[in-house]
Amino acid sequence: MVEKQSSYIRFAIKTWQLFLVASFPLQFISQRFYFYSLIAASAAFLLSKPWQFRPEKKQLNLILLFIGFVALHAVSLIWTQDFNRGLKELETYSALFTIPVLLLWQQDFHSTNYLKLVKIVIVSTVFIFCFLAHTQILVVIIQKDLAFSDLFFSTQFHYEKLADFVQLHPTYFGVLIITAIILLSYDLLKSSSVTFQYLLAFTGIIYLLIFLLLLLARGPILGLVGISLWILLLNFKKISFIKRTLVIFIILIVSSSIFIFEPLTKRFVDPVARMIREKSFRFDDDSFSYHIRSWICSLHSNQTVLEVLIGQGTGDELTALNNCYASKNYSAMINSNLNAHCEYLTQYVKLGLLGLSYFIFFLLFQFNYGNINSFSYLKLMVIFLSIIFLFESILNVSKGVFFISFLFPYFYLLDKENAKTSI
């Protein structure tokens, strides 16, 4: 009877693993099937009798950290004005405790083979999306008899118009690309010789870099520069001259492209130069000036001492910002429902200094749990997303929540797996 029960548990665990792996590509392909996969994984989790297992202390701490973030937003419903919208946002946050529990609770999920399988699924998903987007662009170029150079220089194949080919926002597409680059970078940096795997990783990274530059996504591009500098500073004397040169080359290519590649210059440099020259952001219609105005209104949303401490409550961010847009006569933004475009300010508007402090603690806690060796998946992801959070409120949508809830625990497990490896 004990053996039979054990086989049932093993079957439930394998089912749970299968649906959790499937949830990664499904999140970006079909929200409905992604939701079903999480339900199936959660059901298999319960059938596996999780109370018979005890996660390690570090893993339990991470689970509690995610649950605390959701709990804080749930408590804020007490003082929110728009209770229904608050409930909807809380529903979006639900994956923040579901997925970390599913990933961190069972020891079977931490095997080398399983972690490699997840890595293959993530990297494959990213390349399939990139190839699919470029294939569709080439079809358009052929059908319209356009020059092949339009693939790189035509505005109809950049930013949202490029990401629309796979129905993704440029920022989330960019986060996917950087995730794949981080995973491939480990293979590149750990190789002691030029092998087929080394060349494959190198070629893949170059292709993803080109795609990222065409995507023109501010946050991911700046985030890439940030993690490249971190790798370089931490490993300058540890890695070989060739690898050091490669990292410097990537930094120089990405940084110089911002000033040389016209589409990037128009998106990164021109709006800032124009605002400095005209000493105004009120009359610009580009997205950067919208970001500045939303940041200003976010800082002005909490007026009283109590609001500064505990915020407007989950669900009231957009109402508070719309009121500020109207009061400051930002005519193009009134009733636009534009969020803060900065996750730190979003947490401040919703939960005040209390929520902002917890969010910063949340990131620092994850960073501290990263591998102490020179290459840490988790530390790189925390650095990268911390930069993304300056430009986007990505936790307002399910895809952003999914990145945090899936990648942070998964990268922690990768660091744990590679704890004895030094680069």
Q: Which of 137-141, 238-242, 299-303 has the lowest mean pLDDT?
A: 238-242
Residue carrying the six token digits 């580009």? 286
Q: Quick one: pLDDT band at residue 295, thresholds 50, 70, 90?
A: confident
Q: Which two tokens stand for residue 129?
A: 């999306």
CA distance 42 to 102: 7
More confident residue, 44 or 188: 44
| Separation CA 293–CA 15 (nearest Å) | 48
Q: What is the pLDDT of residues 350-385, one digit of tens each?
A: 999 999 999 999 999 999 988 776 678 999 999 999
The confidence band for 112, taking pLDDT boundaries of 50, 70 and 90, is confident
| pLDDT at 181 > cutoff 60 | yes
CA distances from 382 to 61, 289, 362, 372 (A): 17, 27, 10, 14
> What's the confidence (pLDDT) of residue 249?
81
Q: How far apart are the C-alpha atoms of 323 and 315, rounded to whole Å?
A: 14
Spatial distance between the Cα atoms of 225 and 251, rounded to a whole number of angstroms: 6
- Contact indicator for 48, 106 with CB cutoff of 8 Å: yes
Residue 119: pLDDT band (50, 70, 90) is very high
| pLDDT over 50 at 261, yes or no | yes
Q: Can you give the length of the chain in residues?
A: 423
Measured between alpha carbons, how far is 187 from 248 in angstroms, rounded to an integer? 18
Whether 236 shows a pLDDT value over 60: the answer reads no
